[in-house]
């Protein structure tokens, strides 16, 4: 297959996203190894994109934004093989041009990612019947982070889990996953998703001033077994969360307040990632299947055509998007907001 021309949103130097991001037209080469190249139907923007622009995980530049992707396969790598219905990534069957898949763009190792007309996916899975590709593209980052972090926390059925920041998408995913695992879940969230989270089975109270007392009221004064801290960096909350966990910092895991947690003796999920966690080849098809059945979902804040990427970046950067921010480069993925 020849390379294909694509608009891409990417950065050539480290800095604030609006200072360094630019739209360019480049050639996307054949997919290497066991990756696939897709015409992008949808990509999700995540806080991680802004961290990368600012220098997180430094490496070769330029790089793209948009890790979570759904698209139509237009070329497969030379090592993509399918055996008896199981492909090299453990997805559901072989993959061919024209198949609709979702997965992750290698935004560290490639010069562009999902915010593009065409992207190379290093992990890809068939989208099950009944699941909209835009919904599929909401899943990878939030599901992976929530599921792996709960696994690291050794969450047992019957344990009481506080998900602080469940209106953030990793927290929203974590509430659903923890409830499926039999935990009793208390969540802090703003009003946008309170009804959703209660509908899943969580008890919900607002974050902000007075949060610890409101959580204590929900537990009848008892300590929380485990706390998952999920909103974007919000200095000063961890001491309250540790107090709610009986004063034991090892019962508190954060995904975002890294340095504060380390200083207080609390846990940071990325410090503990290890082989043996449920592989994405199991996790992502499982949650895509649940989503197709209506048993798992992530809300979409707003969708944008690729040419409106600046508006999408602005909504995500403002810190309160209230749902996933999605770019839809291909008109086939679009629907009313």
Please identify which residue in 167, 285, 329, 333 interacts with ligand NAP, judged by CB under 6 A: 167
Q: Look up residue 172 and give its two tokens.
A: 């929203």
The interface with ligand NAP within residues 288-327 (CB under 6 A) comprises 319-322
Separation CA 61–CA 109 (nearest Å)? 9
Closest approach of ligand NAP to the CB of residue 231, in Å:
4
Q: Look up residue 59 and give its two tokens.
A: 């490496």
- Applying CB under 6 A, does 168 fall inside the site for ligand NAP? yes
Which strand (E) or helix (H) includes residue 310?
helix 309-317
The residues pairing with 303 across neighbouring beta strands, listed in sequence order, are: 326
Closest CB to ligand NAP among 84 and 337?
337
Inter-residue contact 46 to 131 (CB < 8 Å):
no
Query: Hey, what's the torsion of the CAs at 291, 173, 103, 269, to 10 degrees?
Result: -150
Separation CA 284–CA 144 (nearest Å)? 8
The residue of the chain with the least Cβ separation from ligand NAP equals: 167
Q: Which stretch binds ligand NAP (CB under 6 A): 42-50, 99-107, 124-132, 328-336?
A: 42-50
Which strand (E) or helix (H) includes residue 123?
strand 118-126
Closest CB to ligand NAP among 33 and 319?
319
- CA terminus-to-terminus distance, the chain: 36
Closest approach of ligand NAP to the CB of residue 194, in Å:
8
From residue 301, alpha-carbon distances to 5, 150, 167, 231, 337 in Å are 30, 25, 11, 16, 8
Closest approach of ligand NAP to the CB of residue 45, in Å:
9
Peptide bond into 143 cis (omega under 30): no
Q: What is the DSSP string of 286-308?
A: HHHHHHHTTS----EEEEEEGGG
- Applying CB under 6 A, does 118 fall inside the site for ligand NAP? no
Separation CA 226–CA 266 (nearest Å)? 11
Please identify which residue in 256, 287, 313, 326 interacts with ligand NAP, judged by CB under 6 A: 256
The interface with ligand NAP within residues 69-98 (CB under 6 A) comprises none
Closest CB to ligand NAP among 33 and 191?
191
- Applying CB under 6 A, does 252 fall inside the site for ligand NAP? no
CA atoms within 13 A on the CB side of 317: 15
Please identify which residue in 20, 48, 159, 292 interacts with ligand NAP, judged by CB under 6 A: 48
Closest CB to ligand NAP among 40 and 268?
268
How many residues touch ligand NAP (CB under 6 A)? 31
User: Could you give phi then psi for residue 103, rounded to 5 degrees?
Assistant: 165, -145
Closest CB to ligand NAP among 9 and 168?
168
The interface with ligand NAP within residues 172-211 (CB under 6 A) comprises 188-190, 192-193, 207
Closest CB to ligand NAP among 37 and 322?
322
Q: Taking Cα atoms as reference points, which of 300, 301, 280, 305 lies closest to residue 115?
A: 305
- Applying CB under 6 A, does 46 fall inside the site for ligand NAP? yes
- Applying CB under 6 A, does 54 fall inside the site for ligand NAP? no
Closest CB to ligand NAP among 100 and 228?
228
Residues at the site binding ligand NAP, with contacts judged by CB under 6 A: 46-48, 51, 141, 145, 165, 167-171, 188-190, 192-193, 207, 230-234, 255-256, 269-270, 319-322
């Amino acid at each position: 297959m020849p390379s294909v021309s694509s608009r891409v949103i990417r950065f050539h130097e480290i800095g604030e996203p609006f200072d360094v991001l630019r739209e360019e037209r480049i050639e996307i080469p054949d997919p290497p190894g066991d990756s696939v190249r897709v015409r992008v139907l949808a990509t999700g923007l995540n806080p991680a994109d802004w961290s990368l622009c600012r220098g997180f995980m430094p490496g070769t530049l330029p790089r793209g934004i948009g890790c979570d992707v759904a698209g139509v396969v237009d070329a497969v790598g030379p090592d993509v093989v399918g055996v008896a219905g199981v492909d090299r990534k453990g997805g559901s069957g072989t993959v061919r041009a024209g198949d609709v898949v979702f997965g992750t763009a290698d935004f560290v190792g490639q010069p562009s990612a999902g915010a593009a007309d065409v992207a190379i996916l290093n992990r890809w899975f068939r989208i099950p019947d009944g699941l909209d590709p835009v919904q599929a593209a909401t899943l990878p980052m939030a599901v992976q982070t929530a599921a792996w972090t709960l696994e690291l926390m050794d969450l047992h059925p019957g344990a009481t889990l506080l998900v602080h920041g469940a209106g953030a998408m990793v927290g929203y995913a974590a509430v659903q996953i923890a409830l499926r695992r039999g935990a009793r879940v208390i969540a802090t969230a703003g009003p946008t998703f309170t009804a959703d989270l209660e509908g899943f089975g969580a008890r919900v109270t607002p974050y902000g001033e007075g949060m610890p007392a409101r959580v204590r009221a929900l537990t009848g004064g008892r300590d929380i077994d485990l706390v998952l801290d999920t909103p974007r960096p919000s200095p000063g909350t961890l001491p309250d969360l540790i107090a709610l966990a009986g004063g034991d910092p090892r019962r508190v895991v954060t995904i975002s307040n890294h340095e504060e947690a380390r200083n207080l003796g609390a846990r940071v999920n990325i410090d503990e990632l290890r082989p043996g966690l449920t592989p994405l080849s199991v996790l992502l098809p499982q949650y895509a299947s649940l989503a197709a059945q209506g048993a798992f979902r992530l809300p979409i804040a707003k969708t944008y055509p690729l040419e409106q990427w600046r508006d999408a970046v602005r909504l995500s950067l403002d810190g309160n998007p209230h749902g996933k921010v999605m770019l839809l480069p291909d008109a086939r993925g679009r629907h009313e907001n």
